[in-house]
Amino acid sequence: MFSETEKETTKSFSWKNELKEFISAAIWAVILAFIIKTFIFQLTYVPTGSMIPTILPNDRVVVLKFWYKIKPIERGQIVVFEPPDSANSPPFIKRVIGLPGETLEIKNNTVYINGKPLKENYLPAKMEMEPFGPFKIPKDAIFVMGDNRQHSADSRYFGAVPIKNIKGRAVLTYWPLNRVKVLR
Strands 116-117 and 110-113: antiparallel
Note the pLDDT of residue 4. Answer: 55
Note the pLDDT of residue 111. Answer: 96
Note the pLDDT of residue 141. Answer: 96
Going from N- to C-terminal start, the domains of the chain cover 42-182
E-state strands within the chain: 41-45, 60-64, 78-81, 92-98, 103-107, 110-113, 116-117, 132-136, 141-145, 161-162, 166-175, 181-182
- Residue 184 CA from chain centroid, whole number: 13
Note the pLDDT of residue 10. Answer: 52
pLDDT tens figures, 130-171: 999 899 999 999 999 999 998 898 999 999 999 999 999 999
pLDDT tens figures, 34-54: 776 766 788 888 888 999 999
- Write out the CATH class of domain 42-182: mainly beta
Residue 8 has pLDDT above 60, yes or no: no
pLDDT classification of 63: cutoffs 50, 70, 90: very high
Report the pLDDT averaged over residues 60-66.
Answer: 89
Task: For residue 14, indicate whether it is catalytic.
Answer: no
Which of 137, 144, 145, 154 minimizes the C-alpha distance to 100?
137
Note the pLDDT of residue 86. Answer: 67
| 16, HSE (Cβ side, Cα atoms, 13 Å) | 3
52-66, 77-91, 98-112: which has the minimum mean pLDDT? 77-91
Note the pLDDT of residue 22. Answer: 86
- Cα-flanking dihedrals φ and ψ of residue 3, to 5°? -75, 170
Which of 160, 149, 107 minimizes the C-alpha distance to 127?
149
Note the pLDDT of residue 123. Answer: 86
Task: For residue 139, indicate whether it is catalytic.
Answer: no
Average of per-residue pLDDT values in the chain: 86
Report the pLDDT averaged over residues 11-39.
Answer: 79
Cβ atoms of 166 and 73 within 8 Å: the answer is yes
Out of 12, 16, 50, 136, pick the active-site residue: 50
Strands 60-64 and 166-175: antiparallel
3-state SS, residue 89: coil
Tell me the one-letter amino acid at 91. Answer: P
With 0.85 as the threshold, say if the pTM is over it. Answer: no
71-75, 80-84, 86-90: which has the minimum mean pLDDT? 86-90
Out of 65, 94, 152, 167, pick the active-site residue: 94
Note the pLDDT of residue 59. Answer: 95
